[in-house]
Amino acid sequence: MSHRLDTGGRLIDRAQKLEFTFNGKRLQGYAGDTLASALMGAGQVLLGRSFKYHRPRGLVASGAEEPNALFGLGEGPRFEPNQRATTTELFAGAKLASQNHWPSLEYDIGAVNNAFARFLTAGFYYKMFIHPRAFWKHVYEPFIRRTAGLGRAPDPETVDADRYEQLYAFADVLVIGGGIAGLAAARAAADAGNRVILCEQAAHWGGRAPVDGVEIDGKGAGDWVEAQLAALRALPNVTLLNRTQGVGVHDHGYVLACQRLADHEPGADKPRQRLWRIRAARIVTATGAIERPLSFAGNDIPGVMLASAMRDYLVNWAVVPGKRVVVVTNNDDAYRSAIALHDAGVTIPAIIDARPDSDGALAQAARARGIRIAAGSAIRKVKGGKRVSGVELCAQDSAGAATAEHIECDAVAMSGGFSPVVHLFSHCGGKLIWDEAGGFFRPDPARPPLGHDGQGFVIAAGSANGAMAASDVLVDAHAAGLSAAGAKETPAPQAKAEPEAPMAPVWMMPARAEYDLRMKMWLDPQNDVKVSDVQLAAREGYESVEHTKRYTTLGMATDQGKISNINGLAILADSLDRPIPQVGTTTFRPPYTPLTMGTIAGEAKGPLFQPLRRTPLYDWHEAHGADWEPVGQWRRPYCFRRAGESRHDAVMREVRQTRESLGLLDASTLGKILVKGPDAARFMDMLYTNMMSTLKPGRCRYGLMCNENGFLMDDGVVARLSEDAFLCHTTSGGADHVHGWMEDWLQCEWWDWKVHTVNLTEQFAQIAIVGPYARKVLEKLGSDIDLGREALPFMEWHEGTLAGMPARIFRISFSGELSYEVAVPAGHGLALWQKLVEAGAEFGVMPYGTEALHIMRAEKGFIMIGDETDGTVIPQDLGLNWAISKKKDDFLGKRGMERTAMVASDRWKLVGLETLDGSVLPHAALAPAEGVNANGQRNTQGRVTSSYHSPTLGKGIALALVARGPERMGEVIEFQGDGGKMVPARIVETCFYDKAGEKQNV
Amino acid sequence: MSEPVSALGGAQYAGMVELAEAGPRGMITVRGDLALPALASAVKKITGAAMPARRQASTGAKGAVAWMSPDELLLFVDYAAAAPSVAALEAALAGEFVTIADVSDARAVLTLKGSQACDVLAKICPVDFADLPVGGIRRSRAAQIAAAIWREEQDEYTVICFRSHARYMWDMLSQLARPGGEVGLYR
């Protein structure tokens, strides 16, 4: 039974008891506990079920490499699946739920898979579920999806209650890992005056050295760590970040690190996590090493743990996994665990050492304590179901056919040696070399990831670099810090540790284990990949490690094979009869540990999800019933609804009122780009299809802009401000693009033209005053501009004051009515609007929205970019030949629109449509034609581009692109209506209303 | 004439920093060859400030001038002085290839004061504030929008964004400056 010891535990505060629940059961831990240590202390060994066979699972590790102890944590808006118990700090009231079982953790029906394990070997899914084809979608996949998997995704309708943020930071040297290596490297770089950021994944500093009892510079490791921290904190050029996981190293020294600010105090009024986006000149990865399991039968039974993890639990949190612990190893480090456990009162029945003899300093220390060492031995099999009950021994150099001895125990500590954490070094292309002596891959200092200067920008340090003994760690890390800082040599800290006898590579236990044993040797306990699976893959021809990974799912779980990787490779290499380095590793990719989506989103959620652009009149609209619609990032009123009014009714009212009397439109979102300079006219002639250079100051002209392919890109009214200046109005959504387009041509192609552009879109509030009383209401406001029919004729603009405000008044119309657009500085926009509302009251003035604007322009046959155009439409398709200059040598799009397909006679061209029954055609409705195309689809001859009910005409009207449309006036063709019904419509002129233009010319 | 209304009506918030909308400010965009002697003297006459070096802003008795790009300046004057300043600049630079535009109403101006101002801004701006001395200005990004960040004093920043983005900028900064979000990066 796992339990808490009465004394010890350097990280816990026994004065602060914390209550929590596990599957509803009330348990207790201490402040400083992780969820894992608290569960172990509370006697909870069975923690979950595996992915495929639903085998019982318990703790294996004490850090980020943990494959099994994953929980659903929290509830409601703070529920999160797959939380690693080993790296999650305990907090009061924590609610943990185990995963992947039904109906309960103890009795899981899915465990029936375990009975069929013999048949569920590698590639089973590929082989089994391929026939019959239709079964995959309807039978196999739904079943597999229900039984496989780990945590459940949070309820999609529940919104995360926490706030998140990101932070941009810069450093000369970023050190990832706050163990003794990271501290030494950071200290070396910081003392050289470099700007240093040091981050550590855990809440505490120092890594495993204080657990191991290392002595550094004559002090205990704990004291040395505190002294380094104090020194670093005193330096203004150092930032220390604990609870911060380095998750990814990217090009150009860009590193993501996730800082957990409130994970350990949910509900605190602070951001839950902060994603650091760090740009560092040099990165030191002091990420330590991860212990490897040993592959023996039953190594997945709860109670079998990594030996160093047991030591961590004992020293840090005073918890032990059992009362009788068998230690099994191929190296000396596990002896430290045996000694520590023994000294804490735990019985160690034997240390099973696979090496033929064991007589190093640590072995002697164990023997001196009376601990039995069984050299040359192996665990043949672990006995037990939901937890360990004993082990069977055999000779390591055997097939394990017979049991030599049975030892009763309730936990097993295993150590297969250590693998440097090379992930961050490898993320950006750093290469590895095989270290024969250590039996691991370590960073190749000759082939680091290269930065912009061709120099390596990641330096591995300490155990992460393969320097396993504490004394080597500090020398290596100190040198790494100096190298990262480009600093001169200084003396490194000195550590003292017991010498270790060499480890022996043991990839299987016993060495020639028979099939029944190999079938029970887990490589990846989370995804249920066993030694036999990798061997099967090799037999079936999988030679590449990447293919084997995908075939067997080795290392594809949430832990990404942190403990299984090297063991799997070794088995594959052995099966292929090749040396391990020839087989190579799979690719290490960010993130090192999973990042929560909230952290990736940062502040960009809720109202900050996307910038919302607001006009100066936004608040007024909001207060007056605006029914919003997005236009680019702007919000514009679609219509202004009155109490009890439908959207449709509001739109109809707004159109009628504007046509009959007076309407106001907030046109502030229209793009307004100043083009100025001696070559401005020449530039304008290139930008627009029209001749703009002939436009006289004070006059306006409607213009079209095409891209190089001749496709219509934007349109709007151009006002000539002076001989060398134009104001280009663009569509609301197109302003930024058009401005960028102009600058692109000026900066990259016509860099010697003397033209400046300035985007003045937001400088002005622009209000359209539309309807028969438009002039009257403006005159009421008082202006020094003569607004008379002849004084300010159609398509002219004048500058002066209106209601005491500086104003430009453009006499332009997008509705066919008498219409003025008034631009005033944005800060005066609201005042002008309010004066217009006040002065217009006697005419029943109404604000109108974008839908009324659309209907009125469609009644007039005016095109809308994005409705009548879709990126494949040239101006000629829309009957806009009049706006294409024939006199100009060149303009953007000229050659494009002369291509064969663009001048073909059967192009779809713009026409008006009137349904015979007066109904409104669905938007984008197609007109079918005879026959089918090469893909067997029905041929079409036209498409509706705009369709509305016209309150002015009392019937449905539409604009459409129809093959040879303008040649087919009066013809009736059918469009697809709702529900498959065909709707006959007559092809008519595009202008439905006031064809002579008398209404706007008054 | 009505008083001009700024985008946020002079909003204020106190958290990790003192955040405020500066209210109406006169701003003038000038594009042209910054080496033009006539330009330097015209700018000096309007603002009292010397031509700033690259990525710098300089301050004078009547205003300030910020380097915005190799051919662009932004002048700061009193709101009421903007229109006459534009006229004066145009007169002084007649005949030169220089473009002058009043952009006072096109932007919103926010100020951040306090020792944690850098930390708050670093949450949204990919700017190395250790490399931004007093008097320096950066045209950068604040989360998803364009912004100019001007360090007027050691612990005082002026942030300029487009007027339509003012509410987004405000909501973002006031959230990120909430107590509890302390960072401790820039000390």
B2 assigned to some structural domain: no
Domain match, B116 and B159 both: yes
DSSP-assigned letter for residue A252:
G
Cβ A603–B1 below 8 Å, yes or no?
no
Q: Confirm if A396 and A511 have CB atoms less than 8 A apart.
A: yes
What radius of gyration do chain A's Cα atoms show?
38
| A 797-826: CB under 8 A from B | 803-806, 825-826
A185 assigned to some structural domain: yes
- CATH number for position B131: 3.30.1360.120
B32 assigned to some structural domain: yes
Express each pLDDT in A152-172 by its tens digit.
888 888 999 999 999 999 999
User: What is the rounded CA–CA span in Å between residue A463 and residue A420?
Assistant: 6
Nearest to A607 among B2, B164, B171 (CB): B171
| A 350-389: CB under 8 A from B | none
A626 assigned to some structural domain: yes
What does the buried/exposed string (b/e) look like for B28-63 if buried means 16 or more CB atoms within 10 Å of the residue's CB?
bbbbbebebeebeebbbebbbbebbeebbbbbbebb
* Helix, strand and coil in chain A, % to nearest 5: 25, 30, 45
Which chain A residues contact residue B166 at CB under 8 A? 614
Express each pLDDT in A892-915 by its tens digit.
999 999 999 999 999 999 999 999
Domain match, B141 and B152 both: yes
Domain match, A773 and A748 both: no
First to last CA, chain B: 47
Q: What is the mean pLDDT of residues A615-622?
A: 98
DSSP chain B: -PPP--TTTT-EEESSSEEEE----EEEEEES-TT-HHHHHHHHHHHS-PPPPTTBEEE-SS-EEEEEETTEEEEEE-GGGHHHHHHHHHHHTTTSS-EEEE-TTTEEEEEEESTTHHHHHTTT----GGG--TTBEEEEEETTEEEEEEEEETTEEEEEEEGGGHHHHHHHHHHHTSTT-------
A786 assigned to some structural domain: yes
Q: What is the pLDDT of residue A151?
A: 80
Domain match, A187 and A261 both: yes
- Could you tell me whether strands A458-460 and A273-285 are parallel, antiparallel, or unpaired per DSSP bridges? parallel
Q: Confirm if B158 and B150 have CB atoms less than 8 A apart.
A: yes
**Nearest residue of A to residue B124 by CA position?**
A167
Which chain B residues contact residue A195 at CB under 8 A? 130
Domain match, B32 and B94 both: yes
Which chain A residues contact residue B176 at CB under 8 A? 165, 603
Q: What is the mean pLDDT of residues A886-890?
A: 96
Q: What is the pLDDT of residue A119?
A: 67
Nearest to B103 among A166, A239, A760 (CB): A760
Q: What is the mean pLDDT of residues A317-330?
A: 98
Cβ B164–A762 below 8 Å, yes or no?
yes
Question: What percent of chain B is modeled with pLDDT above 90?
Answer: 98
Q: What is the mean pLDDT of residues A185-202?
A: 98
- CATH number for position A72: 3.10.20.440
B170 assigned to some structural domain: yes
State yes or no: pLDDT of A792 exceeds 90. Answer: yes
Q: What is the pLDDT of residue A147?
A: 62
Nearest to B176 among A603, A613, A827 (CB): A603
* Most confident residue range from A9-13, A264-268, A975-979: A9-13
Q: What is the pLDDT of residue A31?
A: 97
Retrieve residue B50's tokens: 């010397």
Q: What is the pLDDT of residue A206?
A: 97
- CATH number for position A339: 3.50.50.60
**pLDDT, chain A, mean:** 95
Question: Residues for chain A: how many in total?
Answer: 1002
**pLDDT, chain B, mean:** 97
Of A760, A782, A813, which residue is a domain's last? Answer: A760
Nearest to A604 among B102, B130, B143 (CB): B143
Inter-CA distances, A922 with A24, A939, A947, Å: 55, 19, 7
User: What is the rounded CA–CA span in Å between residue A478 and residue A481?
Assistant: 5
Domain match, A747 and A775 both: no
Nearest to B185 among A239, A271, A763 (CB): A239
Which chain B residues contact residue A616 at CB under 8 A? 5, 7, 163
Interface pTM, i.e. ipTM: 0.98
Domain match, B129 and B81 both: no
User: What is the rounded CA–CA span in Å between residue B105 and residue A791?
Assistant: 30
Which chain B residues contact residue A830 at CB under 8 A? 5
Express each pLDDT in A541-594 by its tens digit.
998 999 999 999 898 888 888 999 999 999 999 999 999 999 988 889 999 999
Nearest to A827 among B6, B145, B162 (CB): B6
| Residues A436, A440, A441: CA angle, nearest 5 degrees | 100
B7 assigned to some structural domain: no
Cβ B172–A758 below 8 Å, yes or no?
no
A77 assigned to some structural domain: yes
Of A694, A726, A760, which residue is a domain's last? Answer: A760
Nearest to A170 among B31, B99, B128 (CB): B128
User: What is the rounded CA–CA span in Å between residue A178 and residue A205?
Assistant: 6
Of A392, A416, A440, which residue is a domain's last? Answer: A416
Domain match, A79 and A1 both: yes
Please list the residues that pair with A932 across neighbouring strands.
A938
Domain match, B172 and B112 both: yes
Identity of residue A406? H
CA atoms within 13 A on the CB side of A474: 22
Nearest to A167 among B7, B122, B168 (CB): B122
Domain match, B81 and B92 both: yes
Name the pLDDT band for B1 (thresholds 50, 70, 90): low
Express each pLDDT in A357-395 by its tens digit.
999 999 999 999 999 999 999 999 999 999 999 999 999
Q: Confirm if A644 and A638 have CB atoms less than 8 A apart.
A: no
Domain match, B113 and B51 both: no
**Nearest residue of B to residue A259 by CA position?**
B183
Q: Is A552 helix (H, G, I), strand (E, B) or coil?
A: helix
Domain match, B87 and B113 both: no
Please check whether residue A612 touches B, CB under 8 A.
Answer: yes
- Within A598-711, strands assigned E span 626-631, 634-640, 663-666, 671-676, 700-706
Name the pLDDT band for B65 (thresholds 50, 70, 90): very high
What radius of gyration do chain B's Cα atoms show?
17
Name the pLDDT band for A145 (thresholds 50, 70, 90): low
Please check whether residue A170 touches B, CB under 8 A.
Answer: yes
Domain match, A52 and A125 both: yes
Report the interhelical angle of A333-343 vs A307-317 (nearest 10°). Answer: 40
Q: Confirm if A163 and A273 have CB atoms less than 8 A apart.
A: no
Q: What is the mean pLDDT of residues A432-436?
A: 95
Question: B22: which residues sit within 8 A by CB, 6+ positions away?
Answer: B6, B109, B110, B111, B158
Write out the residue range of the structural domain in which residue B163 sits: 12-23+106-176
- For the full predicted model, state whether its pTM sits above 0.90: yes
Question: A257: which residues sit within 8 A by CB, 6+ positions away?
Answer: A176, A199, A241, A244, A245, A246, A247, A275, A276, A278
Domain match, A731 and A780 both: no
Q: What is the pLDDT of residue A149?
A: 63
DSSP-assigned letter for residue A588:
P
A159 assigned to some structural domain: no
A893 assigned to some structural domain: no
Residue A583 phi/psi, 5-degree rounding, is: -75, -35
Of B102, B130, B145, which residue is a domain's last? Answer: B102
Question: Residues for chain B: how many in total?
Answer: 187
Question: A118: which residues sit within 8 A by CB, 6+ positions away?
Answer: A519
**Nearest residue of B to residue A763 by CA position?**
B106
B158 assigned to some structural domain: yes
Which chain A residues contact residue B131 at CB under 8 A? 170
User: What is the rounded CA–CA span in Å between residue A793 and residue A1001?
Assistant: 8
State yes or no: pLDDT of A271 exceeds 70. Answer: yes
Cβ B125–A168 below 8 Å, yes or no?
yes
Which chain A residues contact residue B29 at CB under 8 A? 758
B93 assigned to some structural domain: yes
Q: What is the pLDDT of residue A160?
A: 93
Express each pLDDT in A766-788 by its tens digit.
999 999 999 999 999 999 999 99
Domain match, B124 and B84 both: no
State yes or no: pLDDT of A867 exceeds 80. Answer: yes
* Residue at token pair 């514009």: A636
A545 assigned to some structural domain: yes
* Residue at token pair 């291509």: A899
Q: Confirm if A687 and A892 have CB atoms less than 8 A apart.
A: yes
Instruction: Give me the number of domains chain A comprises.
Output: 7
Q: What is the mean pLDDT of residues A403-410?
A: 96
Retrieve residue A794's tokens: 């159609």
Q: What is the mean pLDDT of residues A888-894?
A: 97
Query: How close is the nearest chain A Cα to the Cα of B60, in Å?
Result: 25
Cβ A758–B99 below 8 Å, yes or no?
yes
Instruction: Give me the number of domains chain B comprises.
Output: 2
Q: Which helix (H) or strand (E) holds A359?
A: none
Domain match, B65 and B157 both: no
Name the pLDDT band for A128 (thresholds 50, 70, 90): low
Domain match, A791 and A913 both: no
Q: Confirm if A638 and B57 have CB atoms less than 8 A apart.
A: no
For the beta sheet containing B137-142, the strands, ordered from the edge strand earlier in sequence to the opposite edge, are: B12-14, B18-21, B107-113, B156-162, B145-153, B137-142
Q: What is the mean pLDDT of residues A426-437?
A: 95
Q: What is the pLDDT of residue A557?
A: 81
Q: What is the pLDDT of residue A138?
A: 75
B110 assigned to some structural domain: yes
When mean pLDDT is compared across A139-143, A909-913, B129-133, the lowest value belongs to: A139-143
Q: Is A426 helix (H, G, I), strand (E, B) or coil?
A: helix
Please list the residues that pair with A440 across neighbouring strands.
A435
Domain match, A411 and A451 both: no
Retrieve residue A331's tokens: 């190296």
Of B102, B125, B153, which residue is a domain's last? Answer: B102
Domain match, A695 and A801 both: no
- CATH number for position B35: 3.30.70.1520
Domain match, A676 and A664 both: no
A628 assigned to some structural domain: yes
Q: How far is CA A524 from the centre of its chain?
A: 27
CB atoms within 10 A of CB A204: 16
**Nearest residue of A to residue B7 by CA position?**
A616
Q: What is the pLDDT of residue A153?
A: 84
State yes or no: pLDDT of A132 exceeds 90. Answer: no
Domain match, B97 and B31 both: yes
B17 assigned to some structural domain: yes
**Nearest residue of A to residue B102 by CA position?**
A763
Query: How close is the nearest chain B Cα to the Cα of A113, in Å?
Result: 48
Nearest to A677 among B24, B99, B176 (CB): B99
Q: What dihedral angle (degrees, nearest 10) is formed by the CA atoms of A748, A753, A758, A759? A: -50
CB atoms within 10 A of CB A571: 27
Retrieve residue A530's tokens: 């066993």
Write out the residue range of the structural domain in which residue A773 sits: 618-668+763-856
Domain match, A12 and A99 both: yes
- CATH number for position A972: 2.40.30.110
Of B70, B102, B134, which residue is a domain's last? Answer: B102
Q: What is the 3-state secondary structure (H, E, C) of A148-190?
A: CCCCCCCCCCCCCCCCEEEEEEEEEEEEECCEHHHHHHHHHHH
Query: How close is the nearest chain A Cα to the Cα of B41, in Å?
Result: 21
Domain match, A315 and A398 both: yes
Which chain A residues contact residue B179 at CB under 8 A? 269
State yes or no: pLDDT of A122 exceeds 90. Answer: no
Cβ A168–B145 below 8 Å, yes or no?
no
- Within A242-384, strands assigned E span 244-250, 254-260, 273-285, 289-291, 304-306, 319-320, 325-329, 351-353, 373-375, 377-384
